[in-house]
Chains A and B, each alone.
Chain A
Amino acid sequence: MQIVSVKDMPRDLKLLLLKELGLGLDGDGYITKGGRQVLDRYIDQPVQIENMAIFPGSTIVLDDNPVSIASYIEEYGEV
């Protein structure tokens, strides 16, 4: 799997990316789905656009931190 860093992606294109993936953004900068904040499934915290990691498999949105990434790899296998 190729990992694409979005660190330098312009903000308007990040918004386009979210839209293409069926996601949104609330006024506080948190990613939403169906109008509700998306929670990182491993740490139960809302995910900010500036710290997002998005993995395939039903579009899994995570906070970009080692705990969540390692948990994803444990569940889905090496990336």
Chain B
Amino acid sequence: MGVSPDPIKSAAQGITAASIEWSEQKVRDLVKQFRNRKLAFIKNADNIDLVKEERKSSEYVILKQFVPKAYSIQVQMGLALRQIASDQPRVIQLVDKIRRKYGRSGLHVGEITQVGITSQLLTHLTELYRGPDEVIKKLTYFFDHAEDLVIFVRSSDKPNVIIIMIVNRIEVLDAHMMILFGSGHAQNVVDKILKQVEDEMEREYVIERRREGVQITAFIFTPELRANISHWLDSLGMSDCVAKT
């Protein structure tokens, strides 16, 4: 066909990225293959490589069993954002595309997947609900209301303001849970919020914290979910995560 692909890259990824000696005849040869649906043209391999890698990742393979189709791309893009986090210009471009296509709420789904919340939530849901259909239903509800259910706490946030938001939403929304995320200095604000929730609330909310590097994720559940949660917290040796036991 007149193409001299990098044999190693081609074998691994089916991508011809370099070493093509371009000519009019070669373009016509490639177009023939294109018409036979054996070939596609792309600017460069970076984006398709990124997408294919994320789709093959163990995290996505697990997530896709439960993520509804309407949110599949946002979740994949969240994993992609995590993968390219060190390449800020590329992150900015991708965030712009996600926002244009799916709006602010769709970007929020991507961002909560990027920081690992979606996978943590799925673990909780599979423990709380026996049937896969129920897990899918709850996960869909969560995505539908992600902007309300997940608060990205900033270092400048006032704990009292966030607590009011938590109490109002956790009691009204059907999920009966809230998720806080804080990174860097915002971790201290999250800690203050959780301490106040534990010490000052009449309701005995169940809190599970997870620290990873410079970030903290906290799941807050209503007491009504407590019975469902306590069995697995105990089995994981995490009973100290339960507030006011």
Contact = CB atoms under 8 A, between A and B. Distances in A.
A74 B73 contact: yes
Interface stretch (B13-21, B141-149, B177-185, B199-207): B13-21
A78 B64 CA distance: 15
B123 interface: no
Interface string A47-67: 000111111110000001111
Given A4-B20, A9-B22, A69-B51, A45 B100 contact: yes
B93 interface: yes
A58 B89 CA distance: 32
A44 B17 CA distance: 27
Interface residues of A, number: 38
A19 B94 CA distance: 30
A24 B51 CA distance: 28
Label chain B's interface by main secondary structure: helix
Interface residues of B, number: 46
Contacts of B104: none
A57 to B, nearest CB: 7
Contacts of B55: 70, 73, 78
Given A5-B16, A67-B77, A70-B77, A13 B43 contact: no
Contacts of B30: 4, 17
Given A2-B39, A53-B48, 19 more contacts: A1-B14, A2-B16, A3-B15, A3-B16, A4-B40, A4-B41, A5-B17, A5-B45, A13-B23, A17-B30, A20-B28, A20-B31, A45-B100, A66-B51, A69-B42, A70-B51, A73-B55, A78-B55, A79-B48
